[in-house]
Every structure is written in C-alpha cells, then in structure tokens.
Chains A and B, each alone.
Chain A
Amino acid sequence: MKFWNRFWFVVAVMFVCASVWPGYAQDTTATEEEAPALPESVDMSLGVVNSEYVMPEGFRGKDAEEGDLQWLEDVGYLMAENSDLYNVDANAIAESAQFEGPPNINWEVKKEDESGNLNTESSEDTNVASNPCNITDPGYYQVHNGGARQVSSAGGAEGDAVGGTDEEAGGSATATTGAEGEEGGEASGAASTVTAQQRVGIEVHDCTSPDVWIAFQEGAGNINMAESEEALKAQMVGKIIENMGQPFSTDSKDFEDASYIFIEEGKDEERNSIPWEKTARLSIAGTLFNERGAPKYESGKLNSKIDQKEYTNHVSVIGGEDKSIKGVYVRRNVPFIIAAVSTDNGNKRASAGEVEVRIVDANDKEVERDGDAYLFRVPNYPRAEYKDQPDYYFTTSAADKDGNLTTIRMPLYIVNTQAAFEGGRNQ
C-alpha cells in the first residue's frame, strides 16, 4: 500500500510537470531565442468562386493557354483569396512571429489600354478576403488583391498592440512602428509590414449590341448635299460620343433640320443589365416618321435576343404597317441624304464609326443615289394608290468585333408632295 501510494505520488508529480512544462517552454523559447527574420512578402492564392457563368477556356476564340478567366460583361462574380498573412496566428510567416492586428486587404481592378498599359479602374479597401466583382465594359482586365499585415517577431511588441487597431485610433499619438528611427532594415521584435499579392487575368466579353444613330436630312434649293452629308456625319460622330450613345435631345424642336432614329442601350438605369436580360431603346425624332410630316419625339424599349452559345446580343428594328414605327416618309422630288454612325461599349463609347446605309427594293436590289443624294420622283404612298410602284426599304447594320449586332430594316415611303407636304411641314 505504502509502495503504491508513493508510486502514484511520483506519477502524479511527473504528470503535472509534463502538463505544465510545454506552456512555459513555449514562452521561454519565444523570448530567449533570437527572433527569426520576417519575410517581406508571402504568396497568395486568388480565384473566382465557382460560377456557371465563367465561360470555358478558349471562349470566343481566346487563347486557352494564357490561363485567363473568361467572363461576360455585366455579370457579377465573387472573387476570393487566401494567404498565410490572413491566418489566426503568424507561425506560417515566421517562427514565433505575431500579428499586431487585422490585415489590410485591397481589391483593385485594372484594365489594359491599347498600348498594353494596365490602368486602375477601381480600388477598394475592404479588409475582407472575398469581393463581388462586376465588370461592366468588355476588355482585358486584371483583378488584383493586395494584402498587408503588421507582424512582429518575438521579443518586442508582444502583447502591446494585439487586437483591433480601430480602438487605437483615438489613443496615444506615440508611434509604435518598429522601423521608426531606422531607415530600412528590421529590428528584432519590431512590427513590420509584411505584404502579399496575387492577380488574375480576365477577358471580359462584350454582350451588348452597338448603339446606332441614323439621320435623314432633306435638301432644298441650292444646298450642296455632299457638303451637308459630311457636316451631318461629323456632327453625329461628335454628338454620339458626347452623349454616350443616348439621344442628344428629347425636344422635337431640335429635330427640324434632320430626323433621327436612335437605337442604344437605354437610359442609365437600363444599361449594364445582365446579358440575357438586355434591352435596347429605340427613339425617333423629327418630321419624317408619319405621312403628315408632324414633328414628334417617341421612345420605347426593345427586347434584345441573345445567342445561347456565344452570349452575343442582337437588337433588331423592323418597321412596317403593323409595327410601332410604320416607316420613314420622304417627299418626292426632294433630295435627301441618310447618314448612320455607331458606337460601342467595347471602348466605353469613346469613338464612333460610320455605318453603311442602303436603300433597297423588295428584291434587295440597291437603289442608287441621284448624284450626291437620294431623289425619288414618283410617289409610292399611300401604297393602295400606288400598287404598281416598288416597295422601298432602308437597311443598316452595325456589328462590334465580338459579333453583337444591331440591325434596322424599315419601309421608305415616297409621299406625293402636293398631297401631304406643302410649303414645308405638317398641313
């Protein structure tokens, strides 16, 4: 009995010692050993959280070996990242190192310009390792996560500043930065900023049909139609860029010199809808959209049709007797010009190009200009009265480099001047 008592006593003492020792051992080694050097930076993983709308490698012919993510514009994706810098303890950074507070986490989106430079589009200091990312213009982008955290090696700031740094903001002004007073280098036990970063390359694909403006301008007297056409085009290019594709006015008085058809992505709140819910806005302005020559400004929303495989959109405007826009009404014996320009969100509508407009008959045979302008000498409207006269249509089509398309086909009616227009406009 005596033996067993002694035996258990010895075992118990050894067990207590063994239990308590590691805790003390940890503390003493941390303070006595030389502090290991902290790295300046560590690596990081970064990626997109699984989404069915991340397109496959090689989407729309992109280089599959580049390793870029293939995204669609206007679709939000969730990005996530991780690094040893975001751990609870700093052991993975350096032995016995300690974090001084939470990390600083910044999300940045950069877009590549035509010269290959990567320019910052957005920068958000969120201090969170995931971030929703919605890129609304096509192009090549890099999403960048930059992380930083104050880390102290053993023996120094231990216990001083661990915890939320927000509370410290209103406290003492005394700097606790370890590097203070030094220029470069790290002092043992001092708090240093350790960084991490990673980037992901992203091809953002265009899913928006181009904006198209079409202008009709009648000529009279000795007006030089060729000069008028060039001036009209130049004016349209300037205005479509200035107005980001949206109509430059909604006042019908501003359309007395020329009539316009505007097809564009819509009002601000209508833009950047997800690709399969995209719409377009069709606006007509001027005197040529009814047989009476009455000035008008009308606007309405159109649905866009998406290609389920390529995610390209097609906006199609077709006029006719049973449509909201019946057609364009021009006067016989009055020369007129048509000009069309287009702009695209691919370069944020920063440039505009001329688009070909054709007038064709029902057999798609193109009607030639009479000199510098179109001129029809025989009316074909009302159609019931001029059944023998051909149907005319004006057509135009604008496509961006990704294959998004805007097309217009609308009847062109030649109105008997004496019947409908006299001395100018509406009678």
Chain B
Amino acid sequence: MKNRSIFVVVAIIVSLAGSVALYAQDDATKKETPPWLEGINMPPHPENLSPVMPLKIFMENGEAIPATLTEDIPITLVADTAIFDAEPPAQYNGSDIPNAKWSRNAAVSWFFIDWEKNKNVPASSTQQLALNQMVVTPINPTGKGAITCHIGRKMRYTDPVTGKTRGTFANASVGHDARVLDITPPTCGLEILVEGGRSGTFWVAENPPNKYPLPKLADVYFSGALINEADPGAILAVQGLELGAGMVVPPEKAAVKVPAGSVLKIKVNGEDNYKLDNTKLKYGICSNASGEPVPVSAINATEIALAELELPENPHFYVDASDVSGNRQVLYVPLKIK
C-alpha cells in the first residue's frame, strides 16, 4: 500500500516534469531569434497586396535543367512567368485587382547558390539576351547547389477599399537544385628545404581561370634560393602547361638545384578547387618525367637524404594528386644536384 502511494507521487512528479519540459521546449522554439533576423521587427508578409506569381525556368531548347551541371560550362536558361505578360493579373488569391497596370519594366536576377558554403554568385552576361534569358556558368563545383531566378515588376492598381491608386510589386521566384561536377585537376606544389635555411618552392595556378573547353591550362611558379640563388625572392613563371596528369617543367625553364648529399625536407601544398583526395596524394623524387611516376625515394617522405638514394641521370620531383571527382594532376619538376 505504502509502495503504491510512493509510486503514485513519483508518477505525478515525473509527468509534471515531462509536461514542463515539453512546454518549455515549445516556448524556447517560439522565442528563439535566428541570427539573420536579429533586430528585425517586421512581419513576414507584406502589409499590402503584392502578388506572388508562378515562375518556370528551363533550358533554352525547352528541356528541363539537368540536376547535374559541369563547372565552367555555360548554360542558357529561360524564365517563363506571367510577369512578362502585357497586363498584370486581374485577380490574386481570389480577390479582384482593379485597374491593374504595369508601371515599370520587369527586373530579373539570376543566382547560383552553393549550399555547401551558403554563398551565391550572381549571374551576368555580356551577351545581348532577351530579358527572360540568362547564361549561367557555375564556376565552383559543389555537391549541393541551386540556380535561382527572381523577377519583380512594378504595377499600379486601384485599392478596392480606399479607391486610391496604389503602387506595388508583382513577384516571381524559383529555385532549381543542381550539383556541379568538378572538372579541374588539383593544383599542388612542393616546398623543399635544405640545411642552412635555403629553400625552393613551386606552386601551380590555373590560368586562365575557368577555361572551357578543356584542356585546362596552368602556370607553374618557382621561388627561393634553390631556384635562383642570386635572387631568392624572384618569382619565375613557367606558363601554359596543360593542367593534368602530364605536367612536365622543361629543365631549361626551371629546376630545383640542391647540393649533393643534402638532406631534403619536403612539404606538400595540396590545393584543389573543390576537394582533394588526400588518400591518393603522392610526392617525392622519381626517375622519369612522363607516364606514371617511378619513385626513387620513399613515397610522401618528409625528409629525404640524397646520399641514401640511387639517383638516376635526370631525377625529378613529382606530385601526383587527385581530387574526389577523379581529376588528376601529375607534375614533374627537374632536380639538379650540384
């Protein structure tokens, strides 16, 4: 009997606590202000009539926009909405809009949103296009993105309540979800340091950026005392290499010159315009400068003692990198032993 009473009391306390917790959660949710609405004291809906109209966007040829796009490849899109009609809607949400007239041209904005970064890029075109058209070129790969189109047009109508003319905007907007495939190989380089603080660095930059059609091109930049002993701060550029699996720097243009018997400290600079596949990243010294690298040093060694290697006649540094989409870069840079 006593036990049952205790159980009853405990049950009541538990249930009360549960209820309080649930209500508290609800209240917290209601009161919480997200950071983007800090200081905003405005209702979420317009005070006066402002019609939201349907909008469709599609490819120039009338087909649906693909769900997968490719970086740097432009697509021409078309927007279709009654905002481009000769007259504004005469009704909205079942109510009449008396004497509705457009009073300005339509304004159109297109964006590509990268949802992974929550950043957008406005689309713009130097081509002369119709108002409802836009060339969209996704320049950054993403697994989660969207093309959005926003159209608005000023209109006037007679307010049925006051009988006065009023200006407002008709709006239309829509989003199309799409991911963007990466077609740009990584742009990795190395930093080499020898005893005495002398170093040599080379890195890769896509140039021109966002080039299409393929192949992508890149410049390889060199700097440091191991490149140019007389002027270690100078930057030497080897231009116009095809960015990909066969990037060979000719020895007459640039080389990393290290003293015989040095111990080299090597650091890789992994770069990609989207996501580098770190599991496939390889670098070191190799015996060849074409095809697959043939390593003569331990792969990805951060320290290499030249005296412990059987160096071939024309050794090269190499960086073999791939991104998660499978784009591959293999860069060969001549190594000269002084």
Interface residues of A (CB under 8 A from B): 1-2, 5, 8-9, 12-13, 15-16, 18-20, 22-23, 40-47, 65-68, 80-84, 86-89, 92, 100-106, 108, 110, 112, 116-118, 120, 123, 125, 127-130, 142, 144, 146, 148, 150, 165-166, 168-170, 172-184, 191-201
Contacts and interface: CB of A to CB of B under 8 A. Distances in A.
A354 to B, nearest CB: 32
Nearest to A92: B44
B4, B152, B164: residue with the most chain A Cβ atoms closer than 10 Å = B152
A125 B119 contact: yes
Given A23-B22, A40-B175, A81-B42, A16 B37 contact: no
A171 to B, nearest CB: 8
A195 B174 contact: yes
A168 B208 CA distance: 29
Interface string B109-130: 1010101111110101000000
B8 interface: yes
Contacts of A180: 67-68, 177, 179
B4 A9 contact: yes
Contact of A101 (B22, B115, B174): B115
Interface size class of B (residues with CB under 8 A): 35 or more
A47 to B, nearest CB: 7
A83 to B, nearest CB: 5
B118 A89 contact: no
B145 A146 contact: no
B104 interface: yes
A20 B15 CA distance: 8
Contacts of A199: 107, 152, 154, 169, 171
Given A105-B36, A144-B152, A178-B177, A183 B171 contact: no
Interface stretch (B46-54, B220-228, B229-237, B241-249): B46-54
A30 to B, nearest CB: 15
Given A176-B144, A201-B104, A201-B169, 5 more contacts: A40-B175, A45-B43, A65-B156, A183-B64, A199-B107
A179 B67 contact: yes
Given A45-B46, A125-B119, A183-B65, A88 B177 contact: no
B161 interface: no
Contact of B36 (A44, A106, A128, A144): A128
B47 A45 contact: yes
A200 B46 CA distance: 11
Given A45-B43, A47-B42, A102-B36, A150 B67 contact: no
Contact of A12 (B1, B11, B52, B175): B11
Given A16-B15, A16-B18, A44-B46, A179 B168 contact: no
B167 interface: yes
A141 B62 CA distance: 33
Contact of B150 (A83, A144, A166): A144
Contacts of B174: 40-41, 195
Given A16-B11, A89-B29, A174 B107 contact: no
Top 9 closest pairs, chain A to chain B, by CB: A193-B175, A67-B167, A12-B11, A175-B143, A183-B64, A195-B173, A179-B177, A118-B107, A193-B146
22 contacts: A5-B8, A9-B4, A40-B54, A80-B41, A86-B36, A87-B34, A101-B115, A104-B118, A104-B120, A110-B107, A110-B109, A120-B109, A128-B35, A148-B175, A173-B274, A174-B143, A179-B67, A180-B67, A182-B67, A183-B67, A184-B65, A194-B175
A177 B143 contact: yes
Contacts of B52: 41-43
A100 B40 CA distance: 22
Nearest to A110: B107
Contacts of A13: 11
A23 B171 CA distance: 38
B328 to A, nearest CB: 15
B34 A102 contact: yes
B50 A198 contact: yes
Given A13-B11, A144-B150, A198-B169, A127 B118 contact: yes
A123 B115 contact: no
A179 B176 contact: yes
A65 B67 contact: no
Given A9-B8, A45-B43, A144 B109 contact: yes
A169 B117 contact: yes
A129 B43 CA distance: 12
B296 interface: no
B29 A88 contact: yes
Contacts of B65: 183-184
A40 B79 CA distance: 14
A59 to B, nearest CB: 15
B305 interface: no
Contacts of B117: 165-166, 169
A116 B40 contact: no
A192 B29 CA distance: 23
